[in-house]
Amino acid sequence: MIYIALLLIISIIYAVITWRHLDHGLYLLAAGLPTYLLRFSIGPIPMTLLEVLVLIFIVLSLRAERGNLMGLLRRFTPRNDRFIAPICLLLMAATIGVLVAPDKLSALGIWKAYFVEPILVFIVATDLLRKRSDDINRVLTGLCAGGLFIAVFAIFQFFTGWGLPAPWDVENRVVSLFPYPNAVGLYLAPIIVISVLMSLTPRNDSRIFWIATALLSSIAIVLSQSEAAIVAVLATLFLGAVLTKRLRIAAITTVVAVTILVAISPFHQTIFDKLTLNDYSGQVRQSQWRETILMLKDHPVFGAGLNGYPAAMDEYHTDTQYEIFQYPHTLILNIWSELGLLGLIAFLWLTINIILSLRGGTTKQSPEGLPRFARNDNFWIAFLALTETTIHGLADVPYFKNDLAVMTWILIAIIASTAYAKPTQISTQCLDA
């Protein structure tokens, strides 16, 4: 009873703040992504505190529209926004994923928490950030504030062992607030990319915050031993440096030097095995992928349905020394098994449209006559954070999780909103490619 009362108080406080300032509600939502861990049920329907905050944010956003939902949606049509058509296709694929899923109730929960609610956040956040582009920095601050809390608790956990569950306590792999170590890497890796890039932007009054967030988050993912996260962060920061003219030569020189040092070090074989997936973790991944491909050969169009992967894999699981995981742990197979070919096409289409936004210039005009695509610091920060999740997704699951789904759509909202940046807002000082 006390637990429910506490959740109710938090929800009321959030509702009051959001009622008075919708933008503040967005900042708090970005900071509060880990609140999905606070769970409860309304009858047979499972809910999380994060979902409650999302619903409050969506409902109160209509107040700014004076209840005119259609007025908001009319601003998001394929004619006005290039992201909407693939989003509609994605929602269609997710809905089909519910219909073909073996457990439709759990699939419906995934449908609302991983797709419908995050996409609604995208629509409201994009509209809000287009009107007030200065709010983007505050949204990024909110994301990193939540990440800083996760990182600090993970470091505290390493030294005290408090709240560290089995079997991770044997290896002292920190999990922070999450149930498993890789969740720390999945959450903090894009936060590190954001905070590093924000610390490099000019006229930054919060540089200490960004540096502290990057440093402590980096320590946390090392303590969680999330190798895929470490590789993805380093690869993304290298890419960002290569795209920056003044850092390009230094970045390439550093990588060559590190490669030589690794090659002559006594640990070169261990590192090579990890990078080529020849260690134990890599062998588990390869086994998963082989079995998943066999399953998809028999279910190529619809996949296994939302939340249907473990049940579908029963008859294809031959390497019984490994468990059946919730997902196949690589981006394409994750999407294909959950959403079928239609979902795979939708994600690919969305990715292509995000990449096309790199072109800059005034190829298309917004309804207000402003540049359709504009390269600026915030665009590049969000773009590289999504790049990190994509690289990370080669060996993990960086989307199919409550907090990560909302984070993904907030980052896409930043990209979509900067597509309408005014010419005076365009800056390439952070990444002058």
Length of the chain: 433
42 domain-assigned: no
145 domain-assigned: yes
Higher pLDDT, 410 or 274: 410
Residue 115 C-beta-side C-alpha neighbours within 13 Å: 26
Give the model's pLDDT for residue 280: 80
d(CA 323, CA 271): 25
> Does residue 410 surpass a pLDDT of 80?
yes
Torsion of CA 72, 73, 75, 78, to 10 degrees: 170
Let me know if residue 67 belongs to a domain.
no
Is 401 a domain residue?
yes
Alpha-carbon gap, residue 345 to 119, rounded angstroms: 17
Q: Does some domain include residue 216?
A: yes
User: Model confidence at 362, in pLDDT bands (50, 70, 90)?
Assistant: very low
pLDDT at 112 over 50: yes
Is residue 430 one of the residues assigned to a domain? no
Mean pLDDT, rounded, for 155-168:
93
349 domain residue, yes or no: yes
Distance CA 358, CA 269 (A): 38
Residue 349's domain spans which residues? 80-425
Residue 343 lies in a domain: yes
Classified as helix, coil or strand, 48 is: strand
Question: Helix (H, G, I), strand (E, B), or coil: what is residue 47?
Answer: strand
Q: Is the pLDDT of residue 74 over 90?
A: no
Q: Tens digit of pLDDT for each residue in 39-61?
A: 998 887 889 999 999 999 999 98
- Residue pLDDT, tens place only, 189-228: 999 999 999 998 876 678 899 999 999 999 999 999 999 9
Domain count, the chain: 1
Structure confidence by residue, pLDDT tens digits, 133-160: 678 999 999 999 999 999 999 999 999 9
What is the CA angle 117-123-129, rounded to 5?
A: 125
